[in-house]
Structure 1
Amino acid sequence: MNHETRTRAKIGVLVPYTNTNLEPDMMLMRAPGTTVHFQRLGGYDVDEIPGSGQMAGLGVSDISHDLRMISGVRPDVVLYGCTSATLTHGPGFDETLAARIKASSGAVSLTAAGALVAGIQALGAVKVGFSSPYLGEINRQAMGFLAASGIETVRCADIGRELGNYGQGELTPKEVFDLACQADHPQAQAIVLSCTDMRAVEAVERIEAHLGKPVVTSNQAMMFCLMRELGLPRHDALPGRLFDRL
């Protein structure tokens, strides 16, 4: 049996408690020699449709206990794994939350929303097609979040129906592919798939091959940013053109 060193980096992830796809995505993409550790977040009602109010409430919920728990592994980086919880508040809130997490954990801190912007910027894209499983108000807030960083959304596509907290994670990679294609536009330089519970990582390479454009997803962008911050080398399990920028 071959053994990994497990000494390259420890990755801590704060994940909403109904999310079923962030953990497997992180395990799919993790670099050899790294370990990934998860702490689940509450702060929202599982039976409500995850609209702007619910996600904004998650963003301001008390995570001090969760930070103490994840800090127990002495992580090198802590990821805040909900995109909409901070993009509903705007870039200033997102940056402040990342700073709070860093101060509490002593680790590099990255948010899903901040990583999404960083990934788009790494590609040099200023016009994007945007898609998500969110309700309309969150999509408008997401486009405003991107616009604050100089990124114009030239087309926005949503799933076309209300999805509950589990419904987002139950979308198949084929449905995510179709959603991405709906977001394409002749002026779009990249396609953005926002939501840590959407199975977008599995669809990235098919979308890029079909549309001929790079794709940035919440989970992929977090992995890209943490690898860049920690100086981790590229490996074979990383999907998409984004990782060419490491």
Structure 2
Amino acid sequence: MTHETRTRAKIGVLVPFTNTNLEADMMLMRCPDTTVHFQRMGGYDVDEIPGSDQMAGLGASDISHDLRMISGVRPDVVLYGCTSATLTHGPGFDADLAARIKAGSGAISLTAAGSLVAGIKALGATKVGFSSPYLGEINTQAMAFLAANGIETVKCADIGRELGNYGQGELTPEDVFDLACQADHPKAEAIVLSCTDLRAVEAVERIEARLGKPVVTSNQAMMFCLMRALGLPRHDALPGRLFDCL
């Protein structure tokens, strides 16, 4: 039997406590010889619809305990695994949170929202179709977040109904495929799928084949950014054209 060394990199991930898909996606995309370590974080009410106020509250919540816990594995990188928690506050807050996580963990720090922007820019796209399972207000804030980073949203699609904290994670890859197709537009140079609890990673290649455009998802973008930051090699389990930019 051949064993992995597990010495290439240690990846720490902060995960909202109701999220059921981020961990699975990170394990699907994990580079051989790396290990992935998760710390769940609270800061929101599981019974409330995850609107703008709740997600902004999560972003502003105290994560000092979570940082102490994830720091125990001496990670090389720490990911903040909720997109809407920081994009609801804007780019300045997102960058500040990343800096605070770096200071508290001693590791490279990447946020989901910041990684989306980095992934879009790596593709050279300035106009995108945007889709998510969020409520309308968060989508408006998301488009403003992208615009502040020089990215225009030419079409926005949402799921069309309110989803609870578990409802987002229960959408199927087929649901995600349909949502992405709704966000397409002749001027869109890429399709963005925002939300770390969305089963978008499994749908990326099918969407790209149908629409002929690159797709950027929250979890895929975080993996792309951490691989680029750590100099990790490309491997076969990486979905989408984004990884051509490594």
What TM-score bracket applies, with the shorter chain setting the length?
over 0.9
Residues of 1 paired with 2:134 and 2:240: CA distance?
23
Q: Which residue of 1 aligns with 2:207?
A: 207
Note the C-alpha offset of 1:2: 1.4
Partner SS state of residue 156, structure 2: strand
Q: Which residue of 2 aligns with 1:221?
A: 221
Partner SS state of residue 156, structure 1: strand
Could you report, residue by residue, the CA deviation over 1:79-136 in whole angstroms, capped at 9, with x for unpaired residues?
A: 0000000000000000000000000100000000000000000000000000000000
Partner SS state of residue 7, structure 2: coil
Partner SS state of residue 216, structure 1: strand
Residues of 2 paired with 1:104 and 1:42: CA distance?
18
How many residues are paired up?
Answer: 246
TM-score normalised over the length of structure 1: 1.00
TM-score normalised over the length of structure 2: 1.00
Note the C-alpha offset of 1:42: 0.3
Note the C-alpha offset of 1:209: 0.2
Residues of 1 paired with 2:11 and 2:113: CA distance?
18
Q: Which letter does structure 1 place at the counterpart of 2:33?
A: G
Residues of 1 paired with 2:149 and 2:50: CA distance?
25
Could you report, residue by residue, the CA deviation over 1:175-234 in whole angstroms, capped at 9, with x for unpaired residues?
A: 000000000000000000000000000000000000000000000000000000000010
Q: Which residue of 1 aligns with 2:46?
A: 46
Residues of 2 paired with 1:150 and 1:76: CA distance?
30
Q: Which letter does structure 1 place at the counterpart of 2:10?
A: K
Q: Is residue 70 of structure 1 aligned with residue 70 of structure 2?
A: yes
> Following superposition of structure 1 onto structure 2, how do residues 68-147 of structure 1 map, counting pairs within 5 Å?
68-147=68-147
Residues of 2 paired with 1:168 and 1:175: CA distance?
11
Residues of 2 paired with 1:233 and 1:245: CA distance?
12
Q: Is residue 167 of structure 1 aligned with residue 158 of structure 2?
A: no
Residues of 2 paired with 1:95 and 1:224: CA distance?
18
Q: Which residue of 2 aligns with 1:243?
A: 243
Residues of 2 paired with 1:232 and 1:121: CA distance?
20
Q: Which residue of 2 aligns with 1:152?
A: 152
Residues of 2 paired with 1:120 and 1:58: CA distance?
25
Residues of 1 paired with 2:52 and 2:43: CA distance?
14
Could you report, residue by residue, the CA deviation over 1:53-79 in whole angstroms, capped at 9, with x for unpaired residues?
A: 000000000000000000000000000
Residues of 2 paired with 1:228 and 1:43: CA distance?
30
Note the C-alpha offset of 1:29: 0.1
Pairwise CA RMSD: 0.2
Partner SS state of residue 228, structure 2: helix
Q: Which letter does structure 2 place at the counterpart of 1:219?
A: N
Q: Which letter does structure 2 place at the counterpart of 1:159?
A: I
Partner SS state of residue 82, structure 1: coil
Q: Which letter does structure 2 place at the counterpart of 1:139?
A: N
Q: Which residue of 2 aligns with 1:30?
A: 30
Q: Is residue 60 of structure 1 aligned with residue 65 of structure 2?
A: no
Q: Percent identity?
A: 89
